[in-house]
Structure 1
Amino acid sequence: MTRQHPGEHMAAEISEQPAVLAGLVERRAGIADVAEKISQKPPRFALLAARGSSDHAALYAKYLIEVLLGLPAGLVSPSTATLYGARPDLRDVLFVTVSQSGGSPDLIEVTEAARRQGALTVSVTNTPDSPLRAAAELGVDIGAGVEKAVAATKTYSATLLALYLFIDAVRGGKGEDAERIGELAQRTLDGSAEGVQRAVDRYRFVDRVLTTGRGYSYATALEGSLKLAETSYLAARAYSGADLLHGPVAAVDGETAVLAATSAGRGGEAMREVLEAVGERGADVLAVGSAAADMPAALGIPVAPSAEELAPVLEVLPIQRIALGLSLARGGDPDSPRGLLKVTKTR
């Protein structure tokens, strides 16, 4: 029996992402069919339900819906339905449930409840034969293939892209900005390798990390924090760049590492003031993104430029590799973090 090396699955699945993303773009016609059914009866607003990494993808979708569709959007609390039995009027509401496994009981239950309350329900999942897909009226298949590592990598980036293609199609788009996303992902992985290694060497002994971003990239900050916590057991916290300046910046000092998602666009430019502020307090700043080279940071890791709306699909790739590298450098195995399972079932 072949012995598995620590991080083997996570490393392989990170490397698969360019092909996974390119394949998803090729299958976007199926996503457009789902979007067409929604366009036939435009919703009043949208709600999204998710947990874990999928919750960060749902936050990204919230930004897309509000900016690209001009609709109010919110993240629901599944426990209001599963624990408290709330049954709000959801007529003419688009209810999107995001779950890589499609197996969490609370997400299934809240989707069933939303459908009974009149919502048009859509599942976005990597498991098309899952109970969640059966609970929802419509379904978007992520199509990332089996993911063996506990830490989500290819399923996360594919979920982001699936949500983008879905929401873009609802507004009548053809996904043109995503046409070359597989190529851009490969360029990002290749072009960031040296910076990733420098970051691993620089931060392998750090104990406290803040991750931050604004706009679409706030989702990247949240996902980056989760990856560092679950693979390297770091005390990692994520903040919107705006929220960071509203109080938490007081806890920043020379012992703090700050990982910032800074891709070109309005969100990335808004991070300049934030990074100047934490830098003045002595923080060691790592900027990741297509605008990283222009940011006040001790270390910058480049990401291939793209439309701002798609930046989170790319900027998370080197962050995943940093999490992988730090875990291995600290003697861990990111494929099997202690106390975690691939599918977490909550209610």
Structure 2
Amino acid sequence: MSEDIAEQPAGFARLLETGPSTAIAEVAAEVARRAPRSVLFVGRGTSDHAALYAAYLAEIRLGLPVASASPSAITLYGARPDLTGTLVIGVSQSGGSPDLTGVLKVARETGALTLAVTNNPDSPLARAAELSIDVVAGHERAVAATKTYTAELLALLMLIEGVRAGDGHLPAEERAALEKLPQLAADVLADGSAAELAQRYRFAASLVATGRGYAYPTAREAALKLMETSYLPALAFSGADLLHGPLAMTDHDIPVLAVVGDGPGGRSMRDVVARLGERRVDVVTIGGSDVDGASARLAVPSVDERYAPLLDILPVQQLALALSLARGEDPDAPRGLKKVTTTL
């Protein structure tokens, strides 16, 4: 897991290279040409969190209605919804789960433009889709996904921005900003504060993760990483949902990871952290600046809110790794889990 985490700056650079970048641009140009009227995402686990990030991008940047598919409606109940004019995107590291492949097959038969985003271009999911994007993350050693997640995020970002541009190619200013990501990611990973924080929460019984907007997928992925590597019960809420009921359960015994960046989502989260601080909750923020009411911060660079999820998750991955080791667990082989999970 440590090696996988360390490879992410190189993974960003690889996706931004001419070959992979051009391949994504070609797919984006074709999507723009077909002009879908809505977008439907399908994914499981970590890849579903990447899809959620892309859903925010598609709604905000493309102005399209977006939904998340329920695979069981098709694979268990035999539904065949009319998906004419819909872009259906399946996101999967392995591309090997039968239910995701089943959704894309039916979607293609019922009028959708289908796209697979995967780390295995020869997978059943990629073969079932009309279009496919290889996130070129390379072999991932650990069961817990790290470098494939951030590769999915960047590939989906490049796709959505390419569709927005119309010809598939990123505007020069956007391209220049993204080319800074490899070095920014390396700088984040060089900071050792996540390991120190692991000792602080070694005996925690539960944890809450929260964020809004583009940061909400990071909160969900943070909770999953902590659960699957440290067996720490962790709940994820949007900052807004946290205030609608779950706030009542928070106290000084339940630490909170709050993703608080720049932009509208981050500004809203500052109010959430203040509310938690009133309840004397131990809040650790993830972001570029200190936040009133927080007791600690995992520092990341201040970047455009759209790019922040690619960096915000990095110290959380390091925290999950360090916390698992501190609790005497093996983060490379979580009990009961395999690298490829097949669901029907």
The two structures have a TM-score, normalised by structure 2, of: 0.96
**Separation in 2 of the partners of 1:260 and 1:198?**
17
Within the candidate set 79, 89, 98, 1:86 is matched to 79
- Residue number in structure 2 paired with 1:325: 322
1:236 alignment counterpart: 234
Partner of 1:204: 202
- Aligned match for 1:296, one of 290, 293, 296: 293
Q: Which residue of 2 aligns with 1:337?
A: 334
Distance 2:228 2:292 in 1: 28
Give, in angstroms, the shift of residue 237 of structure 1: 0.3
2:160 and 2:271 map into 1 onto residues whose CA distance is: 31
Residue 221 of structure 1 is matched in structure 2 by 219
Instruction: Give 1:1-347 correspondences, 5 Å limit.
Output: 10-26=1-17, 27-172=20-165, 173-174=170-171, 175-176=174-175, 177-190=177-190, 192-193=191-192, 195-291=193-289, 293-347=290-344
Alignment partners' CA distance in 2, 1:181 and 1:264: 17
Partner amino acid, structure 2, of 1:16: E
Instruction: Please give the alpha-carbon distance, in whole angstroms, between the structure 2 residues aligned to 1:36 and 1:91.
Output: 19
For the 8 Å contact 1:213–1:271, the answer to whether it is kept is: yes
Q: Alpha-carbon deviations, 1:186-206, whole Å to 9, x = none?
A: 11112x32x212211211111
- CA contact under 8 A between 2:287 and 2:300: conserved in structure 1? yes
Note the C-alpha offset of 1:296.
Answer: 2.6
Question: What's the Cα RMSD here?
Answer: 0.9
**Structure 1: runs of 5+ lacking an equivalent:** 1-9
**1:294 CA displacement:** 3.4
Give secondary structure in 2 for the equivalent of 1:308.
Answer: coil
Q: Which 4+ stretches in 1 moved above 4 angstroms? A: none
Provide the rounded CA distance (Å) in 2 between the counterparts of 1:268 and 1:149: 32
Whole-Å separation in 1 of the counterparts to 2:47 and 2:55: 12
Distance in 2, Cα, partners of 1:145 & 1:104 = 19
| Structure 2 Cα separation of the partners of residues 196 and 210 of structure 1 | 17
**Matched residue type, 1:178:** L
Report the alpha carbon displacement of residue 98 of structure 1 after superposing the two structures with TM. Answer: 0.2
Structure 2 spans left out of the alignment, 5+ residues: none
- Identity over aligned pairs, percent: 53
**Is the 8 Å Cα contact of residues 273 and 291 (structure 2) preserved in structure 1?**
no
CA distance in 2, matches of 1:307, 1:183: 16
* 1:118-155 deviations in Å (ceiling 9; x for gaps): 00000000000001000000001100000010000000
Cα offsets for 1:73-126 (capped at 9, x unmatched)? 111111110011111111111000000000000000010000000000000000
3-state DSSP of counterpart to 2:336:
coil
Residues 278 and 293, structure 2, Cα contact 8 Å, conserved in 1: no
Preserved contact between residue 211 and residue 225 of structure 1 (Cα < 8 Å): yes
**Which moved further from structure 2: 23-32 or 320-329?**
23-32
1:3 — aligned with what?
A: none
How far apart, CA to CA, are the structure 2 residues paired with 1:335 and 1:122? 30
> What's the secondary structure of 2:34's corresponding residue?
coil
Separation (CA, whole Å) in 1 of partners of 2:107 and 2:201: 44
Shift of 1:295: 4.4
In the TM superposition, residue 264 of structure 1 has moved relative to its aligned partner by 1.5
Cα displacement (A) at 1:323: 0.2
Paired with 1:155 and 1:15, the residues of 2 have a C-alpha distance of 12
The answer on whether the counterparts of 1:287 and 1:295 sit within 8 Å (CA) in structure 2 is: no
| Conservation of the 8 A alpha-carbon contact between 2:207 and 2:256 | yes
| Structure-1 separation of matches of 2:232 and 2:266 | 25
Q: Distance in 2 between matches of 1:104 and 1:66?
A: 27
Contact kept, 8 Å, 2:118 with 2:133, in 1: the verdict is yes
Q: With structure 1 as the length reference, what TM-score do the two structures score?
A: 0.95
SS at 2:306 equivalent: helix
